[in-house]
Amino acid sequence: MRKLIVLSLVVTVLISCQTQTVQKKDVQYAEREIVTIPIELLQDKIKGGWAGQVIGCTYGGPTEFQWNGTMIGDRVPIPWDDTRMLWYYENSPGLYDDVYMDLTFVDIFEKHGLDAPDSLHALAFANAEYQLWHANQAARYNILNGIMPPASGHWKNNPHADDIDFQIEADFAGLMSPGMVNTAAGIGNRIGHIMNYGDGVYGGIYVAAMYALAFVYNDIEFIVTEALKTIPEQSQFHKCIADIIRWYKQDPDDWKRAWFEAQKKWTFDKGCPDGVFRPFNIDAKINAAYIVIGLLYGKGDFGATVDISTRCGYDSDCNPANAAGILATMTGYSQIPDYWKQGIEKVENMNFRYTDMSLNKVYETGYRHATDMIRLNGGGAEGDKLLIKYQVPQQVPYEVAFEGIFPTVRHGLRKWLTAETPELSFEMEGCGFVVTGRAVKESNMPEATLEFDVLADDVFLETVKMPTQSRIRRLEVAWKYDLPEGKHTIRLTARNIPKGYRVEAGDVILYSTADPGNKVYF
């Protein structure tokens, strides 16, 4: 029987003899199980979780999206020394969006309490100075234009709903919920819907659940498997991660085999306009698969875990950041090998860009939030120990993004909307479309917001406002997923596009209610 974590005989499990137990596979839980953990150990684990993220993100930084659809070979060197973290802090601080996005939510909890409404979290990151991408940027645009959560993350309003965004920034939810997996999932389910939906939200919930369990278990295979119980079994996300676990059990010594199997089965991107019918893939489930491959095949070795998650490719800074954070939460900061901590002392007092919080500050703030959450959920303190009311994982509600529709074709429009060419149109067949592109100004012109109308078969759909300013940009020109299946004429007509400005329409992606399936051409 697996046991709750016991380190130096200082963590114990206290179960009332009058409590009726229930059997969950090979672990016996109690309805009122209390985990006792020394304060010093909890602090070490929280510190490990935050530091692990920075280490993993830094290691994978040079490889991010440089290997799309292929693994990073063993003979490709990835540098590591005591200068790496400081260099990125000073020269490329945007690398740590994994962390400063987390800290946005941490800061709201700090200022407004653990019951801070989702709207405060949404407004904080929508108005922050940092650049965003994918689901986060789409949500920022929505929020700044009056579409608040959960609508801001819904797939009909956010073509990036299944992307990795909340997955890379959900660490805080688990780190503030030690042993309380459902509390972590609940925080994730609320905040994750600011920018994601369906599998995109599940990615963050799953990561948060692994963190929560890493406080009280020392078996990484069990943590990976147990956390998956929070995710609906019928979801594509659950099925993908279950496959990784199954392939690991079949061959626990060859991570590349699991990678190849995942590549064959799970790399089709249905939603993200940057990834549909392209090798680029920022979908939550395949990148979560790479987190899990690192955790399982790393077998508790910090260096192997970070390296494997990185060498899986795609978002190869975010994935090792999650993996390293989870593992270092399980082992504690003190157990991260010195080789991997080299250089961290140079940055621990440096604030992350766009924040007034450093690693040393978040170690303290994170501990305070965790202890407050322990008390809020029925735990407490006893001398130099904390009593955590352990939670048996429960599934969050089931939801699916891009349900019942399938991409069928992608082709180039390569047209502009300008003052001189105020209309563009195209014919389509199907139930939906996405037009990629951007708003552009000439270099001597001030920032502006361009406006145009979108019509389908001469029926008005919406007036689109496209800022030229990058921080508040709209990622796609136009989209609609729920037209009647059939032939349509789509028109974009300029409403306010002065001279010196243009809307560039790049590609159009068409969708249908009919699944084209796998076609083989000879």
Along the chain (522 residues), what's the average pLDDT of each consecutive run of 10 residues? 38 31 33 85 98 98 94 96 97 93 96 96 96 97 98 98 97 98 98 98 98 97 98 98 98 98 96 96 97 98 98 95 98 98 98 95 98 97 96 97 97 97 98 98 97 98 98 98 98 98 98 82 44
Q: Could you give the 3-state DSSP secondary structure of residue 8?
A: coil
Omega before 150 within 30 of 0, i.e. cis: yes
Domain endpoint, select from 389, 424, 440: 389
In a domain, 119, yes or no: yes
Is there a contact between 52 and 328 (Cβ–Cβ < 8 Å)? yes
> Has residue 4 been placed in a domain?
no
Give ∠ CA 481-486-489 in degrees, rounded to 5.
Answer: 75
- How far are the Cα atoms of 99, 339, 417, 429, 458 from residue 492, in angstroms, in the given order? 39, 56, 8, 17, 10
* 311 contacts: CB under 8 Å, gap ≥ 6: 71, 72, 73, 74, 76
Say what the pLDDT of residue 259 is.
98
- The confidence score (pLDDT) of residue 519 equals 62
What pLDDT does residue 264 have? 96
Residue 356 maps to a domain: yes
- Considering the domain architecture, whether residues 464 and 365 belong to the same structural domain is answered as no
Same domain for 505 and 376: no
**489: phi then psi, degrees, rounded to nearest 5:** -115, 120
- Residues 385, 489, single domain; the answer is no
Is 489 a domain residue? Answer: yes
Q: Which residue, 389, 423, 446, sits at the end of a domain?
A: 389
The pLDDT assigned to 516 comes to: 84
Tell me which amino acid residue 5 is.
I
CA pair distance 161, 400, nearest whole angstrom = 10
Determine the Cα–Cα distance for residues 325 and 53; give it in Å rounded to an integer: 5
CA 442, 445, 449, 450 dihedral sign is negative
Same domain, 365 and 416: no
- Distance CA(281)–CA(276), nearest Å, equals 8
pLDDT of residue 240: 98
354 and 446 co-located in one domain: no
pLDDT in tens, 454-479: 999 999 999 999 999 999 999 999 99
DSSP line for 36-48: EEEHHHHHHHHHH
Residues 443 and 311 in one domain: no
- Residues 63-80 have pLDDT tens digits of 999 999 999 999 999 999
Q: How many domains does the chain have?
A: 2
Residues 444 and 377 in one domain: no
Whether 6 is in a domain gets the answer no
Distance CA 322, CA 168 (A): 7
d(CA 459, CA 272): 26
Closest alpha carbon to 466 in 491, 488, 444, 498 = 498
Specify if 519 maps to a domain.
Answer: no
One domain, residues 355 and 292: yes
Say which DSSP state 504 is in: E
* Residue 1 counted as domain residue: no
User: Which one, of 402, 400, 401, 371, lies nearest residue 385 by Cα?
Assistant: 371
Answer yes or no: pTM beyond 0.75: yes
d(CA 241, CA 487): 38
Do 346 and 467 sit in the same domain of this protein?
no
Task: Give strand pairing partners of 439.
Answer: 503
Range of the domain at 503: 406-512
Residue 7: inside a domain: no
**Are 274 and 196 in the same domain?**
yes
Quick one: pLDDT at residue 318?
Answer: 96
CATH of the domain at 374: 1.10.4080.10
Same domain, 358 and 494: no
Of 328, 358, 389, which marks where a domain is finished? 389
* φ/ψ (deg, to 5) at 176: -95, 5
Are 189 and 301 part of one and the same domain? yes
Among 141, 199, 116, 130, which Cα is nearest to 165's? 199
pLDDT digits (tens, 9 = 90+) for 95-143: 999 899 999 999 999 999 999 999 999 999 999 999 999 999 999 999 9
Question: What CATH number does the domain containing 463 carry?
Answer: 2.60.120.260
